[in-house]
Structures are given as C-alpha cells and as structure tokens.
Amino acid sequence: MSVLQHLPLGRFIEAASRGSRQTKQTVQVSFIVMLLMAAMALFSAKVNAEVPNAVPPEGSYSGIHVEQPIEFPHDTHADINEINCMYCHTYARRSKVAGIPPTSKCMGCHSVIATDKPRIQKLTEYWENKQPPLWNKVHDVPDFVHFTHEKHIKRFVIDNEDLEVENVSEVCAFCHGEVKKMTVADKVKPLTMGFCQRCHQANDGPSDCWHCHK
Amino acid sequence: MSLSNLIDDWSRYRKGREEGGFHDYEHMWGMSIDLNKCIGCNACSVACYAENNLAVVGKEKFEKGQGMHWLRVERYWDEPDLGEERTSEFQQHGASFLPMMCQQCNAATCEPVCPVAATYHTPDGLNAQVYNRCIGSRYCSNNCPFRLRYFNFWSYYEDSWPAPLQMQLNPDISVRDMGVMEKCTFCVQRIRTVKDTARMEDRKVRDGEVQTACSQTCPTGAIEFGDMLGMYDPETGVAETRVTKMWRKHQVELGKTKQNKQTPEMRGYRVFEFLNTDPCVMYLDRVREV
C-alpha cells in the first residue's frame, strides 16, 4: 500500500476504492497482477515475433576479437544482401560443426561481383595460388564438450514451423550474437556451462551430464 | 544438477527393480560375452586403446599398477601348475580368458561414494564418468569390486602422442589429464552418434547399429552388444535384439542377486552377482572337453 501511495496512479486507485481495507488490497493486488500480465504479454510478443517457441539463452560477455586473414564483412552479406547464414555455413544443419565455406563458394559469386574491392582482390589472390585463407576459430568450446549444430538447428529451425525463413539468423544469434551487424565475427556470448544450462532449462533441453560432456 | 541426476537415477532403478522391468530407462545397454569363442588375442583391448585415446603407460608404470587399459583380458589356468616339472615358463594347456571391461552395474558401488557426483547413472543404463567434474579422490576405484576404474597418475597426453601421432586421437572423446579417474564407457561416443542420427531421421535405434570398438574388432564375434530393452514388438514386428535373446536364452535376468535357472546347464553368469551390483555384462562360461 505504501509503495503505491508514492505513485500518482496508486493514489488514484486508493481514491477510487475508498471503503474497507480488504477491498483496497484486493484492487491493488489485481492491479499488480494486471501489470505483470501486460508485461509478460509484451515480452513474449517481442520474443515470438522473431523466434517462436523458444526462449533465448541469457548471459553477458565482454567479447573477444579474433584477427582474420581477410576482414570478412558479415554485415554486407547477411544484413544488406540478406543471405541466409546456412548458405555459406552449410554444414550447420547436417553435422556437428557449422563449417567454413570453401574458397570456391566465395569465388562462385566473387569471380564476377565486386572484383574491384581490395578484400576481393586478396581473396582472388588466395584462389589463384590455390591456397585457402587460414581462418581463425572464434567460437570454441572446451575439448570435453560435445555440441552439435545439427540438433539445435532441428529444434529451433527445421521443427519450428512458425519460424519465418528470414529470421533464421535470430536463432544463430542465440549463441553467436548479432553477427549480421559485425564485420569479422566476434565472440559476444559467454558459451559457458551456465549459459547452455539456462537455455536447456528454459527450452526443455536434456539435463543429463553425458549428453554434452564426453 | 549432477546431484539431482544421481537421485533420479536411484529412484528410477528402485522402481524398475520393484516392478520387475526397467522400462523407465531410454535404453539399457548390455553385453553378452561368449568365453567359448574368446581366444585371448587381445584385439579388443587394442581396439579400445585406439578408440578411446588411451595412453600406453609403459612397463615400469604398469608394474606399479598404473596401467590404463579400460578393457583387460584376464588369463586363468584351468590345469594345475606343474611346479618344478614344467618345461617352459608358461603352461602348455588350459589357459582361459576373461575380457573385463566396466560392467556398467545398475546398482553401481562406485556411484554413491563420489564426493562431487562425477559418476552417476544415465537414462541409458550407463555408468557415466564426467571427466571435467572429477577431482581425483579415487574413492570410486576403491569401491569397485572389479577394479575396472583407472586413474591418470601422469599427464600422458604430453608425451604419449608425439607429433604427428596426435592426429590419430579420436575427437569425439576428450583426452584426459592427470588426476582424473576414467573407465570403459561402452563407447558412449558411438552410442551418442547413432542416437543423434536416429533422432534426426525420426526413428528408433536399430539393433546392431551401435557397435562398441571391442565387439566390432573381436575376430571370433565373442562380444555381442545391444539394447537389453529391445523386446519383440508384435505391433511393428521388430524382433528382439540379439543381446536380449542371449540373456533370455541363458536365463540371466537383470535386478537379481541369484539367478533362478530352470536349466542350470545354460552357461550364462554375471561376475560377482552375489555382491548385488547388478552388472549389465553377461559371460557365457567356457566349456572344455576333459
């Protein structure tokens, strides 16, 4: 009661419900419940708009930057040109690892597109020398962790009928952050056991130790 | 979380035992090893070394009891030692072999003693060992009646696989460091792969789809591995698994301290059954012509 008295709306409720003490309390409780429900509806609506039937994992991380041989612009590809993540990271739905595309896949487009840009010229140089660029690993989990992209993509993308195709990158963003706003991908999520486990609990994932530890 | 897994498991096991049937389990991986077929070639042991990133510790460490073989082939002599009269260092006749890997006991004695719940039972009926959780108290090893747990006394990974031999390591299982207890897992990485594939294809795991390294390698096919919950299904017509068939044929049942055999001449037995650890490995006794 005392908390609500400091709020203009609380005073209004109190004024509106002059009578027995019990009535006032009931009205206040129902008001709080209504507020909570509204907040929940807002929150869930916001989540459902992008990835339905899923609760994204929570956790913050200051982020690490890993230098790459070519400063690959994820934003140009995934955000401006709206290329699906799995066009290049094609193994994500098929195996444990998401995979780095072979240079031939890059050259499939870039033998004709934007050939005057310095980064594409560097790529062409690699291609002509028949040497792949040695990309450095950004998202790495310890040796004792078994993680499959395949099963997660199945749960959140393939079996998720309400998901719209253009929102697939939002699923990837659960663990990889907003990669489509970055140039070179940085590690911006903690990828710790707590981070995984919170998501598993929220989305009814397995909690058996040997599902993920090997 | 580990602790809750531990508690869930015990209640699941007790329920299965009281109601006669372990149907709350997802699978119940088990083995049947025919000692008549075993020729003691140690191929299973070698396969296990290759599959599970086991280090070869060398003669000196082995003598100190620091061997690291998840599957050892024990050798026994059926005929009496001739003593002075024998002509060579080893007896000429009467060797019998017993391949011993973790028996994956359902009422495992190693599990409740772990101070950090690094070992527990999975819903697959496996006795799990989580290496990154283990603190190396070795309590589980002391409590194992079969002595089938092995402790990493040294950092074997530093010099056991000099380059380029580290390329042979299996990426599906971690390379354990010093101070960690380890043991046979029934090749859990293979089970996991098969279960993942089956789930992606929306079907059940088929019989014979999971093979452990030892059963795959055995030249005489002495080791059978499979799901012991795989009963005959009259609706789908799926036959019972080979392991279930062997256990049923030899009248060995899970959850019993003493088998009540109708035909005692059937050869099946479990090691140290009277200890009530309820192992998932059945051996078929060796029969010799006298």
What is the ipTM, given to two decimal places? 0.80
Interface of A with B in 138-167 (CB under 8 A): 142-144, 146, 148, 150-151, 154
Same domain, A87 and A9: no
Structure tokens at A80: 């401006």
A34 in any annotated domain? yes
| CA-based nearest distance B223→chain A, Å | 24
Same domain, A80 and A45: no
**Per-position b or e across A168-204, b if 16+ CB within 10 A of its CB:** bbbbbbbbbbebbebebbbbbbbbebebbebbbeebe
| Whether the predicted pLDDT of A13 surpasses 50 | no
A175 in any annotated domain? yes
Confidence of residue A35 (pLDDT cuts 50, 70, 90): low
pLDDT in tens, B257-287: 888 888 888 899 999 999 989 999 999 999 8
Contact A207 B123 (CB under 8 A): no
* CATH 3.30.70.20 is right for the domain spanning B2-80+91-284: yes
Round to whole Å and give the CA distance between B167 and A214.
Answer: 19
Last residue of a domain, one of A35, A50, A65: A50
Confidence of residue A30 (pLDDT cuts 50, 70, 90): low
What's the mean pLDDT in A95-118? 92
Same domain, A141 and A173: yes
**pLDDT at residue number B70:** 94
Does B131 contact A at CB distance below 8 Å? yes
A115 in any annotated domain? no
Structural domain harbouring A28: 2-50
pLDDT in tens, A111-148: 999 999 999 999 999 999 999 999 999 998 888 999 99
φ, ψ of residue A198 to 5 degrees: the values are: -60, -40
For residue A154, give the nearest of B1, B189, B200 by CB distance: B200
Q: Where are the domains of chain B?
A: 2-80+91-284
Round to whole Å and give the CA distance between A195 and A55.
Answer: 12
Contact B130 A210 (CB under 8 A): yes
**pLDDT at residue number A56:** 85
A170 in any annotated domain? yes
**pLDDT at residue number B130:** 93
Q: With contact defined as beta carbons under 8 Å apart, do B211 and B186 qualify?
A: no
A163 in any annotated domain? yes
Same domain, A46 and A78: no
Q: Which of A18-32, A76-90, B36-50 has the lowest average pLDDT?
A: A18-32
Confidence of residue A57 (pLDDT cuts 50, 70, 90): confident
**pLDDT at residue number A2:** 43
What's the mean pLDDT in A18-43? 53
**pLDDT at residue number A9:** 45
A66 in any annotated domain? no
For residue B172, give the nearest of A209, A210, A214 by CB distance: A214
Structure tokens at A151: 């099963």
**Helix A8-16 to helix A21-50 angle, to the nearest 10 degrees?**
130
Contact B132 A144 (CB under 8 A): yes
**pLDDT at residue number B21:** 76
| Whether the predicted pLDDT of A106 surpasses 80 | yes
Same domain, A41 and A147: no
> Which of these, A67, A76, A75, lies nearest to A134 by C-alpha position?
A67
Same domain, A143 and A46: no
Same domain, A27 and A93: no
Q: With contact defined as beta carbons under 8 Å apart, do B106 and B254 qualify?
A: yes
Number of independent structural domains in chain A: 2
Contact B132 A213 (CB under 8 A): yes
A105 in any annotated domain? no
**pLDDT at residue number A214:** 84
> Which of these, B154, B160, B284, lies nearest to B222 by C-alpha position?
B284
Q: With contact defined as beta carbons under 8 Å apart, do B279 and B271 qualify?
A: yes
Confidence of residue A14 (pLDDT cuts 50, 70, 90): very low
Contact B188 A146 (CB under 8 A): no
Same domain, A153 and A199: yes
What's the mean pLDDT in A76-103? 91
Number of Cβ atoms within 10 Å of the Cβ of A18: 8
Same domain, A82 and A158: yes
| Whether the predicted pLDDT of A75 surpasses 60 | yes
Which residue shows structure tokens 């290049």?
A88
Positions in chain B short of pLDDT 50: none
Displacement of CA B193 from its chain's centroid (Å)? 18
